[in-house]
Amino acid sequence: MASDTTERILIYLVRRELRITDNPILHHISELLAKDQAPFTHLLPVYVFPARQVETCGFLNPATATASPYPPARSVVAGFPRCGPHRAKFWAESVWEFKKNLEILGSGLVIRVGRIDEILEHILDDFQQGRGDGVAGDGHQVKREVIGVWFTDEEGVAEKTDERNVFRVAGLKKVPVRKWKDEKYLVDDRDLPYMTPKDVPDSFAEFRMTAGSLRTASRKPLPRPARLPPLPKHIPAQPVPFEVPDTLADWIAGLLKPLRDASVATDIATRSPTSVPEHTYIGGEAYALERLEHLISHGSISTTYAGDNRSTSLAAWLALGCITARQINEYLLDFEDGGTTLGQHVDGYSAGENERTAGIRTELLWRDYLRLCTRKHGYKLFRLEGFKSDTERVWKYGDEPETKRQIQRFIEGRTGVPDVDAALREMYLTGYTSESQRYRAAIYFGRQLGIDWRIGAEWFEYCLIDYDVSGNWGSWQYCAGVANDPTWEFNPLRRGGYVATWVDSADERAPQSNVREVQLSR
């Protein structure tokens, strides 16, 4: 008679680390398997599209419900959808590629929609009530038990709420939880001299000095896992009233379906170029590495690079954790030290750090800093008064007719400031505009117009393919002058070639009285 067996299941709640390589949790699991020390027999990776960030009604089962049990995923101040079509598609692609990569390693990914704590509770209830237990094909009895829940730390008010809820649910079910350090940033938190969040300086310049040499400050990325445990034979279903697709195309369609009714800024397309310059963004780890290798092999980090847009355009993949800052740094080191054949024909190869590679590291450190500011200030990230609690500024809101018109002209790219309008139209139509263009638009909206800057931040959240909560809201605070260290100057009336791409000079509907130089210092 066959003996009974027990499947010991580890649940891995995947968050913003949609990659196989340089993934601390997967690396540790793979090492445990290699040493035959794993206390689990099966791995259940779970990814939840959060109902607070994406509209879930596109996944409703029409046989069981006509409305989502969750409130609309809309921004607090202006009521914009929180995730626009560009990011929704990119997001789905990234999750799907992660699923395929896990399958290659012998595992897989369960994709759900809802709230992460509710999905976890449903899974734990299913296993603890023995719904998947039974007799296997060879006649032996199979029981299943969850031995732990692992997930990675993330910054953000809603993210911390999710974490508390996960601990609460697992605690009620008496399942141990382990929260792992988030290691996708350039400088590991454990290597910084700050004992508590309040020790993080209010000046980026001061923070930059404490980080030391950025070439050597980053830890080495972790290798790709060799293999992973299989999925359990029984997988708890998606809770009602939703049904989840089994193809990438259907996931994208479900995410985009609710957005078709969100008719915002539809007038932009009638005034923008018929041939939109292509920004190639396909979600996933492979495309992130492809983009990074393209930067190096095509001279974008050379000593003689003179391109107009000095961005790496890697932010979209960084935001979802498809690639890490320390992976980028490792590629830069190989180029600077001649440790690879990639880019060997490019000026600056094997010549040490140059202005361009140093600038990329500084931009990566800026992402680190804004994340730590979020940790330090918490909900102040979303407050009108900002990090510095500025209660003296007088803001305009959307309750006055003229302010409403200014807001509408802003989101439609009809402010009358050509450089600002070009950036806004490019962002809406492609999901991207350069960092400097974002700053110009944000400074114009928050400082010159004096409108509640959170409305602009929420609009960017909707439009941007590379939206990151700390990066977007932190940068808007700096541009609005409510952060702790505001010191920028911008003039939106420049770069005529760029403007001509997006703004028709004959467009007379723009309020020309607004066309004036914007020079703002902090």
List the chain domain ranges: 5-182+247-261, 184-218+277-522
Closest CA to 463 of 499, 430, 495: 430
Print burial letters for 274-297: b (CB count within 10 Å at least 16), e (below 16). eeeeeeebbbbbebbbebbeebbb
User: Under 8 Å CB-to-CB from 349, ≥6 apart: which residues?
Assistant: 335, 338, 343
Name which CATH class applies to 5-182+247-261: alpha beta
* β-bridge pairing 134-135 and 177-180: unpaired
Q: Which residues pair with 5 in a beta bridge?
A: 142
Print burial letters for 394-415: b (CB count within 10 Å at least 16), e (below 16). ebbebeeeebeebbebbbbbbb
DSSP states of 53-121 as a string?
TS--GGGB-TTT-SS-SSPP-B-SSS--BSS-HHHHHHHHHHHHHHHHHHHHTT---EEEEE-HHHHHH
Q: What's the rounded Cα separation, in Å, for the pair 443 and 420?
A: 10
Which pLDDT score is estimated for 257? 93
Cβ atoms 95, 111 nearer than 8 A: yes
Which pLDDT score is estimated for 399? 86
Report residue 226 as tokens.
Answer: 């060799």
How far from 483 is each of 205, 390, 479, CA to CA, in Å? 14, 9, 8
Q: What's the rounded Cα separation, in Å, for the pair 327 and 95?
A: 19
Cα 436 → chain centroid: 19
Which pLDDT score is estimated for 391? 92
Closest CA to 369 of 292, 468, 488: 468
DSSP states of 388-399 as a string?
TT--S---B-TT
The DSSP secondary-structure symbol of 222 reads P
Report residue 381 as tokens.
Answer: 């990230």
Report residue 242 as tokens.
Answer: 């939703």
Question: Crossing angle for the helix pair 204-211 and 355-377, nearest 10 degrees?
Answer: 110
507: left (phi over 0), alpha (psi -120 to 50) or beta: beta
Tens-level pLDDT at each residue, the chain (522 residues): 456 789 999 999 999 999 999 999 999 999 999 999 999 999 999 999 999 999 999 999 988 877 899 999 999 999 999 999 999 999 999 999 999 999 999 999 999 999 999 999 999 999 999 887 765 656 678 899 999 999 999 999 999 999 999 999 999 999 999 999 999 999 999 999 998 999 999 999 899 999 888 999 999 999 999 999 999 999 999 999 999 999 999 999 999 999 986 666 666 755 556 555 555 799 999 999 999 999 998 877 655 444 444 568 899 999 999 999 999 999 999 999 999 999 999 988 999 999 999 999 999 999 999 999 999 999 999 999 999 999 999 999 988 999 999 999 999 999 999 999 999 999 999 999 999 999 999 999 999 999 999 999 999 999 999 999 999 999 999 999 999 875 544 544 455 666 777 776 545 444 544 433 333 333
Amino acid at 243: E
Helices and strands: H and E segment counts in the chain: 17, 6
**Assigned superfamily of 184-218+277-522:** DNA Cyclobutane Dipyrimidine Photolyase, subunit A, domain 3 (1.10.579.10)
Cα 60 → chain centroid: 25
Annotated binding site for FAD: 466-468
Which residue is listed with tokens 């932009």?
A: 268
Torsion of CA 407, 413, 416, 419, to 10 degrees: 120
Question: Crossing angle for the helix pair 85-104 and 248-256, nearest 10 degrees?
Answer: 160
Which pLDDT score is estimated for 309? 46
Annotated binding site: 466-468
